[in-house]
Amino acid sequence: MARTQPRADEMSWTDPACPVARTLDLVGDRWSLLIVRDAMDGARAFTDFQHRTGIARNILTDRLRRLVERGILDRETAATGKRQNYVLTAAGRDLFTVIVAARQWGERHAFTPGEPHSVLIDESGLPLPELRPTDAHGRPVDVDTAAVLHEP
């Protein structure tokens, strides 16, 4: 049974009015995003996540539970009926752009020039183009041309 995202009164928020802070409160630790990354890459079973990340069993158990409670993953009974599989919910799938942005930032800033790394490709086998935010008219925006509006 899928849970919806926790209600605001069910969590203590780092910065209640900031969407970035709330997102990080929900999925901001290292292990959670690596689990989401691996779910996007086909991991389903507890052992899949453990082998891919190297995470300790107790931490993995906790993160999977949290991701289910927060509506990022859902549990399904495997075809054998013997174990649980974890699948991305719509909210979990919506993190794809976040994962791509983190990946592309890492490609630019976490590797030395020429250092090998994995590459995310599209259906035609080509690397994804760099993500860039645009305004309502399709023009590129950056930190100097965007601002935060604090609603009353």
At 21, which CATH number? 1.10.10.10
- pLDDT tens string 24-61: 999 999 999 999 999 999 999 999 999 999 999 999 99
CA angle 88, 91, 131 (to 5 degrees): 100
83 DSSP assignment: S
Secondary structure class of 84 (helix, strand, coil): strand
Q: What is the chain's pLDDT, residue by residue, as a tens digit (152 residues)?
A: 444 555 555 678 888 889 999 999 999 999 999 999 999 999 999 999 999 999 999 999 999 999 999 999 999 998 888 899 999 999 999 999 999 999 999 999 999 999 999 999 999 999 999 999 999 999 999 999 999 998 87
Residue 6 lies in a domain: no
Please give the tally of structural domains in the chain.
Answer: 1
Residue 63 lies in a domain: yes
* pTM, to two decimals: 0.86
Residue 88 lies in a domain: yes
Provide the CA 30 distance to its chain's centre, in angstroms: 10
